[in-house]
């Protein structure tokens, strides 16, 4: 595979002349769980959550995607596949929608794209395992700390105070990322604010002491492409 050419870039270059970039408002549903798969999506910019709603009504956010990301949430090359999750925009978002059949035809015909897809899938597989490890081994508190570390990697902007997570998040959305309750998350966040580990202003968190979070969860200092929420 050619170095430094991502799957996103390859797909964008191949389809840019035939597919339009569409603007999707915040809080829009791109697709829902169990719908037949019609498209894959390239996120040009914005923010999209991937998750599902439990039968009792509790929402779980599996991952957050921002610019230069892809949504391929189905079993590839399967006859009449269905989406396993629901995708919802968290902010005004620009996406390119590509027909599933056209995407699969391109992948099968282009060895470079196939190699890039295999690399992309393997990194996502490892990332999913690492997230499961953090949530299982470290409990609710460690799970929250792990999510904050991943948010710093995916959305962090360095400031004088620390690392600003440049994505508006409510306490409920953060709870949905850890599959905890809002009340429990609020208590743990209050404890972190009292210790001056984090601050929270206008729906955005700033992590002032990232090392504290990393030491608490025995962070393995994985590469950014593994330690993220995408």
DSSP symbols for the chain: --TT--HHHHHHHHHTTTS-EEEE-TT-EEE-TTPBP-EEEEEEES-EEEEEE-TTS-EEEEEEE-SSEEE--S-TT-SS-B-SSEEEESS-EEEEEEEHHHHHHHHHH-HHHHHHHHHHHHHHHHHHHHHHHHHHHSHHHHHHHHHHHHHHHHHEEE-SSSEEE-S---HHHHHHHHT--HHHHHHHHHHHHHTTSEEEETTEEEES-HHHHHHHTT-----TTTSS--
DSSP state of 214: H
CA-CA distance, 56 to 23, in Å (whole number)? 32
CATH fold group of domain 138-216: Arc Repressor Mutant, subunit A (1.10.10)
Predicted local confidence at residue 219, as pLDDT:
74
Which pLDDT tens digit goes with each residue over 29-78? 999 999 999 999 999 999 999 988 776 667 788 888 888 899 998 889 99
CA-CA distance, 230 to 221, in Å (whole number)? 17
Q: Where in the chain is the domain with CATH 2.60.120.10?
A: 7-128
**Which residue bears the tokens 């470079």?**
112
CA-CA distance, 90 to 26, in Å (whole number)? 5
Predicted local confidence at residue 31, as pLDDT:
94
Instruction: Note the residue count of the chain.
Output: 230
Predicted local confidence at residue 97, as pLDDT:
96
Q: What is the mean pLDDT of each run of 10 residues along the chain (230 residues)?
A: 72 94 94 94 93 76 87 90 92 95 96 93 83 73 86 88 89 82 88 92 91 82 69
Q: Where in the chain is the domain with CATH 1.10.10.10?
A: 138-216
Predicted local confidence at residue 125, as pLDDT:
84
Predicted local confidence at residue 39, as pLDDT:
95
Q: Which listed CATH number (3.40.50.620, 2.60.120.10, 3.90.1150.10, 3.40.309.10) goes with 7-128?
A: 2.60.120.10
Predicted local confidence at residue 76, as pLDDT:
92
């Amino acid at each position: 595979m050619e170095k430094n050419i991502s799957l996103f870039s390859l797909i964008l270059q191949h389809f840019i002349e035939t597919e339009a970039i569409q603007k999707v408002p915040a809080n829009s549903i791109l697709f829902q769980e169990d719908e037949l798969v019609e498209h894959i999506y390239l996120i040009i910019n914005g923010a999209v959550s991937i998750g599902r709603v439990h039968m009792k009504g509790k929402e779980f956010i599996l991952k957050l995607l921002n610019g230069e990301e892809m949504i391929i949430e189905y079993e590839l090359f399967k006859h009449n596949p269905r989406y396993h999750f629901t995708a919802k925009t968290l902010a005004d978002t620009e996406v390119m929608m590509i027909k599933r059949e056209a995407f699969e035809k391109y992948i099968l015909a282009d060895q470079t794209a196939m190699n890039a897809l295999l690399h992309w899938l393997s990194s996502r597989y490892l990332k999913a395992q690492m997230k499961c490890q953090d949530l299982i081994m470290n409990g609710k508190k460690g799970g929250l700390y792990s999510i904050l570390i991943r948010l710093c990697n995916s959305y962090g902007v360095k400031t004088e105070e620390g690392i600003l997570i440049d994505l508006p998040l409510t306490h409920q959305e953060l709870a949905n990322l850890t599959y905890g309750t809002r009340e429990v998350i609020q208590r743990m966040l209050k404890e972190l604010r009292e210790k001056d580990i984090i601050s929270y202003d206008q729906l955005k968190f700033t992590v002032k002491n990232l090392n504290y979070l990393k030491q608490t969860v025995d962070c393995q200092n994985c590469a950014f492409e593994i330690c993220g929420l995408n």
